[in-house]
Structure 1
């Protein structure tokens, strides 16, 4: 399919050989527990997609990034889900780097090591907890000499077995004693971090989405990114930016998986020309709305306007993806379903988009209020 070929060409420019390496595995091998797809992602420069060029990365813009994620999703929905967690974490952290004084030496050292050492960053934010805002702290922090001890759990936590760093939103005492939002960068080999089985579904099984527990994990002060008096709103702005990146990247991966199923329909000439073009229009529109939101961000839209655009795009894509995969599976027919589980797993692999926060129900009133002219307030 032409648009998927184009997305794969963009992926090839940023990650030479990745699509080919993924294609040398069967779909079942790509999606199985213990799959090598995350290792392939690491080997082919995947970690550097959103890392700025001054830190050795590719510095991809939002439009390029969603195209890369579409290509990856078309090959391995599991990898797309896992890679999203690294990418939106990177986008958030590196947004701090250009301004002198915002980061400590230790924090800068972490950022400088990601690309040359192929470090993978997992997210310990609230994403994954039912009906929870991904911007809310998921880990408790208790002051300790020289830093904080962190306790909590993240389940599911993609990249749980491959991560080199875990990032987590935490609440720490501010200058007035009131809690304020901060971000912790936690080396994955820190004492007190453990990984436990959690993911019990065959769908997206290669994303390593198990439970990560933190039990009194010490993190030094210089690996805690805090709000400053000179820049009191920076954490909120950064988290909003991370929110936008997350919604666009995760949705684009699922849009790629849906397109891969439609590609099968076209290759096998299943259904009438009318059936096929209706299917193409549906799946192409799912990605077009995501790319449109990404282009708006590229053109300078930010803040709550960008968040609203990302949410509208995500929910529009979510509906179109669900409809197009159901139709594609029907057109591929019973014999395809009987003789191989690949199409059924691909169709099932897009459904988790509905489970990523925020749910439509949880933000419906906030979006309606925003459309009516009020501020966008995500509870």
Structure 2
């Protein structure tokens, strides 16, 4: 991938966004407060993964891998942040397709058609914690007896939460009063919901990955969903995180290709080492596409989930190799003169920190190998 191809891929969905990304300096795209997310919101891309009958673009997983890689080539912040939107969007689409209530279905269609931005509030930034074991709580709201709609009161915090300053809604996981996992679709302007800036990393500042605080935030009970009811066998959750794994990996592969292209500036290079770096990117891009072809619908096999986790584990090592190779190749001249090259090399380190953790990955893969069953969580928590 080069700039021309990345621009062409994005222009198939939005010419204005493609032109903006091509013509805007990387430092401007990646800074806190960048316009990139607003430009993305104004395009057709918020509905990319939604089917056309719901007002979306109906993009296939293979299409989305290509798209997120192209976004990652220009703006890793935008690619990473919007991957979280697509994760929430898929959950919303699943609900719209499964509900028998026509009003609920029309609400889903209206959200997609309006280009609503959906933040994904599952991480809690707790040492040793897990996105699959929320600590945020939800209890029934007080019944004032006047026939008002039932509510759920949410308390806790989510961090880092991408798109936190641009979100219209956020999908937030919590434990109900019976210690059961549940998810709430929370309007961003809900009283008791606030955003605290916490991101101090030198990269991905444009992703708006801040902390969302819930302080007695009341949401309609009709916008909450028990995992036991909505996803009793965990298949939808597994499929959603499979898509997340594919798209977040594609985003970083796009960034890795940009780093290589920044390095290959016509100056002297050890081309053997350069090709080694390119080979790692090409191999893992092919692996992602193969995984996408094995997930044509809303379900995915347990063995395929484990295979993708193994691919992601391999990609972490491969990106570390790419960083080492490019750092060796760039030399003092490029290091001192090419800020974009340095930035994209630094970005690649962040892939390591996306869920699931290494401990969760090892546990889930080993369990699947021994039992044939895959689970991100203990079945009693699901």
Instruction: Provide the residue aligned with 1:142 in structure 2.
Output: 139
Instruction: Provide the residue aligned with 2:162 in structure 1.
Output: 158
Instruction: Provide the residue aligned with 1:51 in structure 2.
Output: 50
> Structure 1: which 5+ runs fail to align?
none
Shift of 1:299: 7.4
Instruction: Provide the residue aligned with 2:211 in structure 1.
Output: 211
> Structure 2: which 5+ runs fail to align?
144-149, 378-382
Q: Under a length normalisation based on structure 1, what TM-score does the superposition of the two structures give?
A: 0.90
Instruction: Provide the residue aligned with 2:120 in structure 1.
Output: 123
Q: Under a length normalisation based on structure 2, what TM-score does the superposition of the two structures give?
A: 0.89
What's the Cα RMSD here? 2.4
Secondary structure of the residue that 1:60 maps to in structure 2?
coil
**Distance across 1 between alignment mates of 2:74 and 2:260:** 13
Shift of 1:291: 1.9
Instruction: Provide the residue aligned with 1:90 in structure 2.
Output: 89
- Alignment partner for residue 367 of structure 2, among 363, 366, 369? 369
Secondary structure of the residue that 2:213 maps to in structure 1?
strand
Shift of 1:253: 0.7
Change (3 A) 1:138 1:353: farther
Shift of 1:270: 4.5
Stretch moving more, 111-120 or 51-60? 111-120
**Distance across 1 between alignment mates of 2:298 and 2:204:** 34
Shift of 1:8: 4.7
Equivalenced residue count is 370
Q: Is the 8 A contact 1:286 1:321 kept in 2?
A: no
Q: Is the 8 A contact 1:240 1:303 kept in 2?
A: no
Change (3 A) 1:111 1:70: same
Instruction: Provide the residue aligned with 1:302 in structure 2.
Output: 300
Instruction: Provide the residue aligned with 1:133 in structure 2.
Output: 130
Shift of 1:333: 2.3
Instruction: Provide the residue aligned with 1:195 in structure 2.
Output: 195
Q: Is the 8 A contact 1:261 1:325 kept in 2?
A: no
2:7 is equivalent to residue 11 of structure 1: no
Shift of 1:110: 4.1
Instruction: Provide the residue aligned with 2:147 in structure 1.
Output: none
